[in-house]
Chain A
C-alpha cells in the first residue's frame, strides 16, 4: 500500500497544477477563468454598459493575448513566468462610443497585485505592484501600497509616485461581498473609487467619479444593435491572379509566430485566431505587410473549436461553454453545454448555427443572441463536424450511424446504420458522401438516406468536399473526383493533398508548399508555390471569400488570393 501511496503522490505532483494563493480570501473574491461580469449605469449621455472579462493564466500565457503593453512586465520582472496572472478586460459601451481597459494583476500568497493598467490612450505600470486585495482581506481591513508609476508605452518613463490606500467594508450586494474603497494618488492627481467584490464573481459593481455601475443581467435595452450574422455572397475565384502573401502577426514591432491547431476564421478584413497557449481569441486585420491585432478575448479554459458567422465569432471551450463575440471583441452571449464541442460550428441559415458536443448532443442556436432554437440528444460520440445538407443536418457518430435531422426543428428524419466506422462526411443538397475505415466510399440520398452507390477506394480518405455534383476526395494515394450521382470517376491526381477547399467554382488542392487550384472538371487553373509547409501534415486552411488563408509550422498566416 505504501507503493500505491508513493506512486499516487508522485503522479499527483506530475499532473496537478498548483493554484498559488488559491485558498486566500482574496483568491476567493476573484472571478474564475472566463467569467464575465455585466454592469450598467445611467450616464449623462444615456444608459451605458460595462463588461469585465476575467482570465486567469499562468506564466507566459497571459502575454500571448492582451495588449502589447503587458509585455513590459516580461522584460522587467524576473519572476514573470512563475506567476499566476489575472487579466481583466473591461469593455465599455455607451451612446458616446466604446472603450476598452485592460488590467494585469498577479495572484500570490500575499494577495492580488495590480501590475499594469491601461486603456487605448495610456498604460501605467505600478512599480512595485499595488496591492489591490490583500490575501486576508476582510471587512474593516485597511491597506496601502506606495511606489512609482511608469509609462508602459514609453520605455517605462516615470509618471510620478503613487500611493494606493484601500479599505474593505461589508457590502449589501450579497453574502461575503466586500466594498473596497480605493484612493489612488499619482503625483498630484487623486482618484477615488469603490468596487464591490463578491466571492467567485469578481467585481460586480463599482462607483467611479460621477458614475454608479450596478450589476445587470444584460445590456440596457436599445444600447447595442444586434450584430450582423449574414454570410457574404459567394464570389467567383480568379486563381489566375492569385499570389502568395505571408502576413506575420505583428506584436511589439516584431513578427510573432502563431502556434495554433485550429484553422483561423476569416473575417471581412482579416482573421480571428486561437493561439494554442493561453486560451485567447485574437482578431487581426490584414495590413499591407502585417496582421495587426484588433482585439483579444478570453472565453475561458481552452478554445476547442470556433467559427466566424458574419460579425459574430462563436467559440467553444473546455469550460463546456459556447461564447459569442461581436466584431469589437465584446462578449454578447454565452451558453452552457453538457459536454465539450470539439468540431467547428456549422451555419444553418442567415443567423442559425449548429454545434455538436463530443458526446453527440446537438444544439442549434441564433448566433446574434445565443438563444437556443433546438437541442437533440446524441446516442453516441460524434466523429466529424455536422454538415448542413439541404434542409437537413447530418451527423456521423461512433455507433456508426449517419443521422439526418431537420435543420429547422432538430427532429430526426432518418438514420442509416453503417457497416464500418466512418470518419469523413461531405454533402450537397442531394447527396451525402461517407468514407469508411474499410476504404469504401458510399453515396446516400440526402432526402431519405437511401444508398445510391458504393465504390472501393484505394486508401483511407482524409478530406472530402462536394461542389456542383462532384465529390473530391483526398487519400494517401492521391486525389479523386467522382460524380455524386453515381460515384463515377471524373478525374484524379496522383499526389495526396493535405487539405481540400471548394469555393468559387473551383477546388484547391493544398499540399506541402504548394496549392493547385483546379476547375471542377479537373483542369489546373493555377499552381502556387512557396506556400506554408508542415512536417506533421498539419496545415491549417480556411477559405475566405476570394482566396484562402494558410498557416504552417512557421506560424505565419499566409494569404493565397488576389
Chain B
C-alpha cells in the first residue's frame, strides 16, 4: 500500500475502497491451484477453459448472431450453428465434472449426481430413439451403466485423475452418441432438429443452474452493501474531519432526491415498503432484542456480508427446493410421452403443481419457519449477524408467500427501490428527531449515515452491471453474467478446505461444475435471445437480487437501526469492543478502543 499512500486523497480513498470492496474479496475468494492430487489441476484447467469458452459465447452472442449461419427449430428460437457443438461440449463437460465430483462426496451427493446424469441421459436418448431406433437407447443405457459402474468401483477409493475421462466417456456415450444417431436420421428426413435437441437439453440443464444464478443475482446488492460499509469506514479513517459532515449532508440530499423521484413515480410501493421495513424492525425486536444484549453487538455491514456467505447457499437451496423434483418429474414425463406410457397426464399435473405458486410458497414458508428457529437459537448464543440476516430474509420472503397463499388477497406491493426510499426517509426523520431532542450521539449519527449510504449504494447498484449490459444488449443477461463472474472470483474459499465427507477434489470439481453449468445456461440464453422462454434463467438472477439481495440490504439497515437503541448500562470493560471484521486478504487493522463511527 506504499504506492497508494502517495496518491492524492480522493484517488487514495477510491483506491482503498476498490481494494477493500473488490480486490480483497477476490484475493480471499479466488480459485487457487495449490498442490492438489495428481490430475486435479489439469481438470481444473479444462474446466476453466470451458468456463472461458462459455463466457466468450455470452460476450460474443450478438456479433455471432449477426455473422454466423443461423439454425432454428419450430417455435424454439434461433441459434448460431457454430455455437451448437460448443454448447453441447460444455454441457457434457459440466455433467462429467458433476459425476466425478460426486464419486467421493457424501452418498446423497452421489445419488443426486447420478439421478441428474440419468435424467439428462433419459431426456436425450429416449426422444432420440424415436428417430434413431433402439441404437440410441442402447447408447443411453450403456452410458448410464458406465456411470453406475464407475460409482460402484471408485466410491471407496481416493480421487484419481482417470475418473474424469471415464465419467466423460460414459456421459458422452449416453448423450452425444444418441444425438449423433438422431441427427443422421433427421437429416435424411429433411428435418433439422439440432436446435430442438439442444433446447431440450438446456431445459433440463437450466433447472440445475437455477441455484447458482439466484446466488449470482444477489452479487450486486452484496457489493453495494460492502461499498457502503467500507466506504464510510475509509472516509472516517482517511479523510480530514471536515469531510464527514459534508458527506452526511450529501448522502441525505442524494437520498431525499431519490426518495422524491420514487415517491412521484410510485408512492404506493414506498408505502408498502415502509410497512415491510416496519415489519423487519418488529421482527428484529422480537427475535433478537428479546435476548440479552451484550456490548459486543455491533452489526456492521461488512460483518453481515461475511456472514452472508455462509448462509446464502442454504437459503437459496431452501427457496428452490422444488427444482430437483421438478427436474426429475420432467425427465420422467419426457420418457413417458415418447413411449406413450400411461400416466403422462398425471406427470404433467405434477409438474404443474410443483411449479405453481402455492407449492413454491409452502416450501418458502418452511424455509421461513426454519430460519426463525435458527435465528432464535443463534440469538440466544449472543450472536447477532446471522440472526439479523435470517430475520431480514424472512421479512422479505414472507409477503410473497402470504400473497400467493391468500390468492393475492393479502398483497404487499413493495419494491426494492421503495424499500431503500423508506429507509432513507426513516433515517432522515430519525436524524432530525435526535437532533431536535439533542440526543444525536456520534454512534447514532454514524448509524443513520450508514443507512443513507447503504440506501444510496443499493439504489444505484445496477450501475455496476451497466457496462456489461451495454456490451450484451440485455440488462438481464448482464446481471446474470456479472453475478456469475463475481461468484467465480470470490466464492472459491471453501474449495481450500477438506473434510472426510466432502474431500478437497470433490469440492474443487463441484465448484467448477456449478460455475460451468450456470455460465453455459446463460450462453444458451444469450445466443438464442431466449428471454422469456422455458430455458431463460435470467429471471432467477432477478429473483436472487429481489429476495437475497434485498434481504442483505435490509439486514444491514436493520443492523444500523439496531445501533439507535439505548446502550447496555453495564460499563464497557477495556477491549470489550470487538475488533473490526478482518479485511479479506489484508492484515487486520489494529482495533481502536472505539470503532470509527460507532463511538457513543
Contacts and interface: CB of A to CB of B under 8 A. Distances in A.
Contacts of A379: 473
B194 interface: yes
Interface stretch (B85-93, B114-122, B483-491, B493-501): B85-93
A380 B188 contact: no
Contact of A15 (B165, B169, B183): B183
Interface residues of B, number: 54
A60 interface: yes
A318 interface: yes
Interface string B184-206: 00011111101000100000000
Q: Is the interface of B mostly helix, strand, loop or mixed?
A: helix
Q: Is the interface of A mostly helix, strand, loop or mixed?
A: loop
B191 A16 contact: no
A11 B85 contact: yes
A383 B75 contact: no
B70 A301 contact: yes
A439 B50 CA distance: 39
A82 interface: yes
B66 A338 contact: yes
B89 A7 contact: yes
Given A59-B189, A338-B66, A398 B49 contact: no
Contact of B93 (A7, A17, A259, A277): A7
Interface string A315-355: 00011100000000000000000111010000000000000
Nearest to A18: B187
Given A17-B192, A304-B78, A421 B532 contact: yes
B180 A60 contact: no
A526 interface: no
A190 interface: no
Nearest to A84: B187
Given A10-B176, A10-B180, A17-B192, A1 B475 contact: no
B123 to A, nearest CB: 15
Contacts of B66: 320, 338-339
Contacts of B50: 4
Nearest to A274: B74
Given A1-B46, A11-B88, A380-B474, A318 B188 contact: no
A299 to B, nearest CB: 13
Interface string A1-14: 11110111011111
Interface residues of A, number: 57
Interface string B51-83: 000000000001001100111101101100100
A526 B334 CA distance: 38
Interface string A497-516: 00000000000000000000
A538 B408 contact: no
B71 A11 contact: no
A260 B70 CA distance: 19
Contact of B539 (A260, A380, A383, A421): A421
B84 A15 contact: yes
A14 B180 contact: yes
B189 A81 contact: yes
A1 B415 CA distance: 48
A318 B70 contact: yes
B476 interface: yes
B474 A59 contact: no
Interface in A402-426: 419, 421, 423
A381 B190 contact: no
Interface in A275-315: 276-278, 301-302, 304
A398 B89 contact: no
A387 interface: no
A64 B189 CA distance: 10
B531 interface: yes
A381 B525 CA distance: 12
Contact of B529 (A6, A358, A439): A358
B42 interface: yes
A3 B74 contact: no
20 contacts: A6-B165, A10-B177, A11-B176, A13-B176, A16-B85, A81-B189, A259-B74, A276-B74, A301-B70, A301-B72, A304-B72, A320-B70, A338-B66, A360-B473, A379-B473, A381-B474, A398-B531, A421-B532, A439-B408, A456-B408
- Give the top 3 A-B pairs by smallest Cβ distance, nearest first: A61-B190, A60-B190, A261-B74
Interface of A: 1-4, 6-8, 10-17, 57-64, 81-82, 259-261, 276-278, 301-302, 304, 318-320, 338-340, 342, 358-360, 379-381, 383, 398-399, 419, 421, 423, 437, 439, 456, 538
